[in-house]
Amino acid sequence: MNKTWTRIVIVVVAAAAVAFWVFFDKQRAPEHQIDTTLNAMPAWQVIKEQEPALHQRILDQMAALQKAGEPEQQIIDTIQPQILHLQMSRLQNAPDANVVNYMTINMEQTAAIQKVSDDACFRFLYPMVKGGVNPMRMLDKDLMARRMQADADMMRAAYGKNRHTVTPAEREAAVEDVRPIM
């Protein structure tokens, strides 16, 4: 009789532990899922390494938005401009080869989204006007992987030994190049 009770208690305690673990794992699953997704992105790793304050601010924003019950797209629309702003600031200091690769893949991505729909393309290019799209849900994995790697390579190169510094002559030439269309 004593062995039977011991076994029952062990089974009940084990079942309670499993139920407790499953309950709390589901409670943190959305945060864990986004964190896992972001950590798989090369550009996020660069942000984590080179911009720890921005990295933490974005994590805090995502957690607050998730807690408020905001949908995935709202979270993307909130953090995407911050990452894009960082990328644009790095683009100025990246070597030409990285800039060309970054821009080429961005154009490929835009063309691929255009094939999905005009509305998706507009929302991709101008998320602040109509709400953005999640390109990871629209594009093939190969293109997304190349895009994410190009982002990371460009951002790292902007701080690397081959970092480009825009000279006053280059700045003036750029102004002259755009003057006819302005």
Structure confidence by residue, pLDDT tens digits, 118-133? 999 998 888 888 888 8
Residue 43 lies inside a defined structural domain of this protein: no
Residue 110 lies inside a defined structural domain of this protein: yes
pLDDT for 3 equals: 55
Burial of 54 (0-12, 13-18, 19+ CB in 10 A): middle
Residue 67 lies inside a defined structural domain of this protein: no
Give the separation between CA 51 and CA 87, rounded to whole angstroms: 12
Residue 96 lies inside a defined structural domain of this protein: yes
Residue 91 lies inside a defined structural domain of this protein: yes
Q: What is the span of the domain harbouring residue 139?
A: 72-166
Residue 2 lies inside a defined structural domain of this protein: no
The tally of domains found in the chain comes to: 1
* 34: confidence class by pLDDT, cuts 50, 70, 90: low
Residue 143 lies inside a defined structural domain of this protein: yes
* 26: confidence class by pLDDT, cuts 50, 70, 90: very low
DSSP alpha helix (H) spans, 40-140:
42-50, 52-67, 72-91, 96-116, 118-125, 127-130
Residue 24 lies inside a defined structural domain of this protein: no
Q: Report whether pLDDT(77) > 90.
A: no
Q: Which residues contact 124 (CB under 8 A, 6 or more apart)?
A: 110, 113, 132, 133, 135
* Buried-exposed string 74-87: b where 16+ CB fall within 10 A, e elsewhere: ebbbbbeeebeebb
